[in-house]
Structure 1
Amino acid sequence: MTGRAKATGRVWAHVGQTFVEREYDVVILGAGRMGAACALFLRRLAPGLRLLLAERGGLPNEEGATILAPGVWTGLDVPPGREREAVWDRSQLERELNDVQFQPRSLLDFYAAEGEGRVPTADLLAHFPDLADVVDPHALPFARVDEDAATYRPGSVALACGQGAVRAGADLLLNTHAALIPGGVCLERLTVTNTHEVVTHETHEVRAGVVIVALGAEGPHAAEHDLGAHTGHGRAYRQSPRLNVPTTDATPTLRAGGLTLRPQNGGFTLVPPIHHRDPHGYVPVGGRLTGVPVGVRRETLEDLIGLMDALPALATGALEVGRSLADVPGAWVALPGGRADTPPTHEEVAPGVHLLLGGPLADTLGMAVAYDLAARVAGVEGRPWER
């Protein structure tokens, strides 16, 4: 059902706007940074295709993992052989997208033992005196430095790509739950009642030649539940506690023991490591600190306690642990291949249905993988980073 390209797409933000479309060439489910980027690239590569981008929340969805992603681009995260993709990914974030606030910021990765490429921590702290109370150079005497690292806001990537896709002709349907059905999708437009309940206002079945499932951690479950396809992917619940130690625009991003301390809003946002996938049916609960219930899940709390000697600031009142899970922001994160160290990926899980996953390494490779899928759907040979 290919037609001529439109100048600007349509946006349905609430149920008061009538939606009557019944067929698209491509439907993308999920307007996080992966889905929105794929929509933008697909409109550029194949402007003749009719494209719908559907999202359960708004743009960006403030409850999704995109908002809580670290937003740290670093060459230290790039798997061997993917360096050119990562450089191209950075070029998109730094120069091609508006309002992403891409900020060059060094990254210091600390270690307890000497190794290749590592320098003495004491020498580094001489250049960053504000970190003297954060890092113990005796416990972590060595570090790797990525001077080309940078920070940015992944939520702004979703917003910029989504808006760009609409300007390029994609349609955008917000506040809509989607399910996969044979030959297309079932769309449930959501509204809020006077008692603040979210209910389905109307349901539409839309035919689509291609469906791209970019629902983040919910994507594999949607493919398995709706299509009966086995994917082998997983998910984990990751929280982002706060460390209220003063930071500036010159403060580097820190890493130790897998924990990332990302300077943000005058302090550090803590991004804990993901050790394993959470089992099906797992419901995150808070842990206990000296017998007192806190809002940080037990696994994360154990990591923080284990690093308190190396990062003394974690053992002070600067660490916000909350009283319940609601006090500490968290979100489900997709784990491509069920592992935290697997790069973003896409795969065709059924004829015409593609699963697009970002995961923990999406900060560095997400845009390139979204482009790769868009090029495949558009039938475009070659990739810009290969030239």
Structure 2
Amino acid sequence: MGTGAGEAGRVWAHVGQRFTETGYDVVVLGAGRMGTACALFLRRLAPDRRLLIVERGGLPNEEGATILAPGVWTILDVPAGRASEARWVNAQVAGELGPLPFQPRPLLDLHAGAVPGGRSTTATLARFPEAAALINPAALPFARVDEEAATYRPGSVALACGQGAVRAGADLLLNTHAHLLPGGVRLDRLTVTNTHEVVTHETREVRAGVTIVALGADGPPAAEQDLGAHTAHGRAYRQTPRLNTPSDDRTPTLRAGGLTLRPVSGGFTLIPPVHHRDPQGYVPTGGRLTGVPVGVRRETLEDLVTLMDALPPLATEALEVGRSLADVPGAWLALPGGRADAPPTHEEVAPGVHLLLGGPLADTLGLAVAYDLAARVAGVEGRPWEEG
């Protein structure tokens, strides 16, 4: 029997729970921020549609870019003409989705040359003394301030949206690997042996009227390999080193040379810029610092070294570089259209199969694009950020 409107959905967390369903109106692959948000919005817009969320791990997805996303909302990242979407996303995260860790926190955008709206970095730091020890004003004399900026945890958004979707009637199948098929999906339910190997316990095919592929960087390859579809999307491996320089609730988020320093847990998480897509088959390789192997990939290390004069703490032991890639958190990030500056998007890559991608600008526009796809699938006209 299907889940009716107003009834909570069912959750299958392990193979001991028998799964016998054979078809759904909509199947969403991926329980990251984009997939769970799309599922939640679709349940709200079309509560009569039977919907299943499939996730290889748990809720939220532990292996994708959602967990390591910056969680920095800033109007400075918004493409022209999309400010209303971004403000709608801000409102969703700030309260509409429920009580989430959301902190208004100004962002200082630092530059070596003059920029529109910029002012003296020295004068700006008088307002933000907590950041003064991090910055060399002589190397970065110009600063813009986004007073509306905020920080949050995308993983908390994914969890809230996933739980909300289940409460609204969506079913959730965890620890399951999905393969795209024409008209549906093949589901491999995974289990762990006593030697800690992940194996397929059982396989089932499920029909789907619509399949939404929200697998992050794994989405385009899945569509290409399973369905033979062609996409122009790419991916890049982005790491998030830590800088153990003190921060607190008053410390602003900093950005210089494309590098974002996000205050987290008394220090900073470093979000390096994404310059380009990584080539097919590329395997991230650690670099060397003063001849010693480190765990930060070479491209990221070059960015950090370039900024050491402008941000002096980067040249100290406060920067964690690790001994291998395993020591420095990182994840594959989808690049819509293969571009590092492209906003989130969705596209129908095969009849009834929609690819949903967040990418580098998911913090500011991701939820709006997820809603847009949900509205399209539901056949709903108009978008809430267009009202008024």
TM range, normalised to the smaller chain?
Answer: over 0.9
1:88 aligns with 2:57: no
- Asked whether the 8 Å contact 2:13–2:174 carries over to 1, the reply is yes
SS at match of 1:92: helix
Please give the residue correspondences for 1:364-375 in structure 2 after superposition, counting only pairs within 5 Å. 364-375=364-375
Compute the displacement of 1:233 (Å): 0.2
Compute the displacement of 1:95 (Å): 1.3
Compute the displacement of 1:315 (Å): 0.2
Q: Give CA-to-partner distance per residue, 1:51-104, whole Å, 9 cap, x none.
A: 000000100122221000000000000000101111111111111122421110
Q: 1:42 maps to what in 2? A: 42
1:312 aligns with 2:316: no
Q: Name the aligned partner's letter for residue 227 of structure 1.
A: L
Alpha-carbon distance between aligned partners in 1 of 2:114 and 2:338, rounded to the nearest angstrom? 31
**Unpaired segments ≥5 residues, structure 2:** none
- Asked whether the 8 Å contact 1:38–1:371 carries over to 2, the reply is yes
Q: 1:385 maps to what in 2? A: 385
Alpha-carbon distance between aligned partners in 2 of 1:193 and 1:355, rounded to the nearest angstrom? 33
Q: 2:265 maps to what in 1? A: 265
Question: In terms of mean alpha carbon deviation, does 160-169 or 89-98 score higher?
Answer: 89-98
Q: 2:106 maps to what in 1? A: 106
Alpha-carbon distance between aligned partners in 2 of 1:98 and 1:294, rounded to the nearest angstrom? 41
Alpha-carbon distance between aligned partners in 2 of 1:358 and 1:195, rounded to the nearest angstrom? 36
Q: 1:274 maps to what in 2? A: 274
Compute the displacement of 1:151 (Å): 0.2
Compute the displacement of 1:232 (Å): 0.3
1:118 aligns with 2:118: yes
Q: 2:335 maps to what in 1? A: 335
- TM-score, scaled relative to structure 2: 0.98
Compute the displacement of 1:131 (Å): 2.0
RMSD: 1.1
Alpha-carbon distance between aligned partners in 2 of 1:166 and 1:132, rounded to the nearest angstrom? 46
SS at match of 1:132: helix
Alpha-carbon distance between aligned partners in 2 of 1:84 and 1:2, rounded to the nearest angstrom? 37
Q: Give CA-to-partner distance per residue, 1:182-234, whole Å, 9 cap, x none.
A: 11000000000011000000001000000000000000000100111111000
Q: Name the aligned partner's letter for residue 29 of structure 1.
A: L
Q: 1:198 maps to what in 2? A: 198
Alpha-carbon distance between aligned partners in 2 of 1:273 and 1:115, rounded to the nearest angstrom? 19
Q: Name the aligned partner's letter for residue 57 of structure 1.
A: G
- Asked whether the 8 Å contact 2:42–2:375 carries over to 1, the reply is yes
Compute the displacement of 1:6 (Å): 4.7
Alpha-carbon distance between aligned partners in 2 of 1:137 and 1:99, rounded to the nearest angstrom? 38
Compute the displacement of 1:367 (Å): 0.5
Q: Give CA-to-partner distance per residue, 1:130-180, whole Å, 9 cap, x none.
A: 322210000000011100000000000000000000000000000000010
Q: Name the aligned partner's letter for residue 132 of structure 1.
A: A
Alpha-carbon distance between aligned partners in 2 of 1:63 and 1:98, rounded to the nearest angstrom? 24
Q: 1:175 maps to what in 2? A: 175
- TM-score, scaled relative to structure 1: 0.99
Q: Name the aligned partner's letter for residue 35 of structure 1.
A: G
Q: 1:141 maps to what in 2? A: 141
Q: 1:207 maps to what in 2? A: 207
- Asked whether the 8 Å contact 1:111–1:142 carries over to 2, the reply is yes
Question: In terms of mean alpha carbon deviation, does 58-67 or 226-235 score higher?
Answer: 58-67
Compute the displacement of 1:126 (Å): 1.3
Q: Name the aligned partner's letter for residue 27 of structure 1.
A: V
Alpha-carbon distance between aligned partners in 2 of 1:184 and 1:317, rounded to the nearest angstrom? 52
Q: 1:16 maps to what in 2? A: 16
Compute the displacement of 1:4 (Å): 4.1
Alpha-carbon distance between aligned partners in 1 of 2:332 and 2:374, rounded to the nearest angstrom? 25
Alpha-carbon distance between aligned partners in 1 of 2:39 and 2:366, rounded to the nearest angstrom? 13
Please give the residue correspondences for 1:228-243 in structure 2 after superposition, counting only pairs within 5 Å. 228-243=228-243
**Unpaired segments ≥5 residues, structure 1:** none
